[in-house]
Each structure stands twice: as structure tokens, then as C-alpha cells.
Amino acid sequence: MRVIKGMDALGYDPNASVENLGSQKSITIGVIVPDIDINVFTFTDFIKGVERASQMYNFNILICAASNNIDKEMKYLELLRTHTVDAMILLHPTIKNDKIIQLNDEGYHVVVVGSVIEHACIPCCITNNLEFSQRVVTHFAEQGHREIAFINGSLSTSESMDRLEGYIQGLKVNRLPFYPELIEHGDYNEEKGYQAFIRLINKTPRPTAIYTANDEMALGVYKACKELGLRIPEDISVMGVDDNRIGRYIEPPLSSVKPPNTELGYLAAEMIMCLVNKKDINNRIVTIESTMLFRKSSMKFV
């Protein structure tokens, strides 16, 4: 299991923590998540991982939905200063890194998921966004595509920037032309993914493959293709990210990248318990690989 590898990377003995629980006060861990409505499956799986860890380490969870709002995130972080929570997990935070560093320097326990904070004492767990984005482009290239478009999410997150960089590197590695006009932004939601595709399909060169930074936006592409009479994958190939359950059952089934959300949640909780119990963390930054799932929506183009 990838979680066990993550535990090994931390150099943390869970049994030692469990043995000490009897003498500790009840611990509450806050989890700040962005927009639950958009990526409900992603966040459900992530919280599932945190919840599994809570059963092992006997801590309470307080979920804080920030709705991609910086002011809300800052408000929830104040729960550390008021001692409402003992530590905080930040999933894809939008606040500036210096605010997170300030909390750490004040002695509060924070773990970041989805991005890396350049600070020796702030643990971070991520997936390989750059690498798997490059692999998506390579997959399309192997199917015969040359004009590959990318619908990104929000440029306010390092996750989006990494996926964009991976897309560009994928074009370079496969010696494919880079057209800046074939990059659009869909803010991680279906309707804006739909609008982004409508803009892309009317551009020159016209793309034959679309990589969307999440499956929600890919569903918007499907909707637009149906309205325009475009066949997937005969006229346009599509691949997303998240392995949204809906994507498995639409026709044709959506190719996707499955991030290790449950494992990341579990690992983040382990990191938090290391901090709370003053245990050393051997590796401050831990990467867990995502899984490529190729289905009919990205079948051969030639």
C-alpha cells in the first residue's frame, strides 16, 4: 500500500503513539478544504483518509469548508490561536505561504497538502502533478494527436501551476507544437469547462485532444460535444483528473488520472500526529504517485 510507504518515509511508529494516548487529552484536528461542491468526490476521499487515521490515533476532526475564500481560510486558522483545534491540515490552501509560515513560527502545528512550503518545519504531502500531466500529453501523442489543448483550473494554486508546467513539458518531450491559444481556464467547474471548450473548438489550430485539470471540467466538455454533434473520441479525445465516479459511467467512459486522495489524507494526519506528539519526521516532503486510468474517451486517433 502506498500509505504504508508514506508511513515508512515519515520514520514514525504508530504503535508508539497509540501507547501514549491514554495519558493525553482529547485532540482535535482541523481540516480546511476548498470548495466541496466542485470536487465532492476528491474531498470525500481525502476526509476518508483523515478519518481512518483518527480511528487509529483517537483524535477528533473539525472540517472547515473555505469555499476558495481567503478570508474564510484566515478565519478558520484563528481556531489555532483560540485553541479550538490543536493542529490544522490545509488542503490546497489559497492563502499566501508567509501566513502559514507565521503560524508555524508562533508554535502552531500545520501540515500542508497539495503544495510545498519552503520551510524546514512545515510538513507537506503532494502528488506528482507535473509528472502525470506530462504523461497525459504523452498518451495523447501516442494516439496520434498533435494539437492538444489544456483546460486548467485556477492559477491561484501550485497544483494548477504544476499541471500547466507538466502539459508544456509533455509537448516539448514529444516534440509537439506549443500553441498558447490552446490553453484555457475553467476554474475547476463544469459550466466554465463547457465555456472553455466552446472557445477552444473555435480556435485555429483546432484541437483534437483535450486535457482538463479535473473531471468536472471534462463533463462540461462532454456537454458541449453533445450540443455540437462532436463524437468522443472520434472527433475529440478527452482526459481529466480525479477519477470522478460519474466519469466511469458516462459514454464513453472518461480517461482520468486518479490522485491518491485517501492516502494523502491518511498521511497528512500521520504528519500532524508526529507534530502533536513531538516525533521527528524523517522526510518533510512526501510525494505519493497518482494512477493513470485510460478508458475509451482517449482511444486511438489514427
Same domain, 33 and 85: yes
Same domain, 134 and 194: yes
pLDDT of residue 16: 44
pTM, to two decimals: 0.87
Position 7 confidence tier, pLDDT thresholds 50, 70, 90: very low
pLDDT of residue 39: 64
pLDDT at 74 over 50: yes
Pairing of strands 59-65, 291-293: unpaired
The set of residues, in sequence order, having a beta carbon less than 8 Å from that of 86 and lying 6+ positions away, is 27, 28, 29, 59, 109, 276
Question: How many helices (DSSP H) and strands (DSSP E) are in the chain?
Answer: 11, 12
Same domain, 241 and 276: no
Phi and psi torsions of 39, nearest 5°: -115, 60
Q: Could you give the number of structural domains in the chain?
A: 2
pLDDT in tens, 190-199: 999 999 999 9
- Comparing C-alpha atoms, which of 139, 138, 141, 168 is closest to residue 152? 168
CATH number at residue 270: 3.40.50.2300
pLDDT at 45 over 50: yes
> Percent of the chain having pLDDT more than 70?
89
- Comparing C-alpha atoms, which of 150, 201, 195 is closest to residue 171? 150
Same domain, 92 and 104: yes
Range of the domain at 164: 129-258+293-298
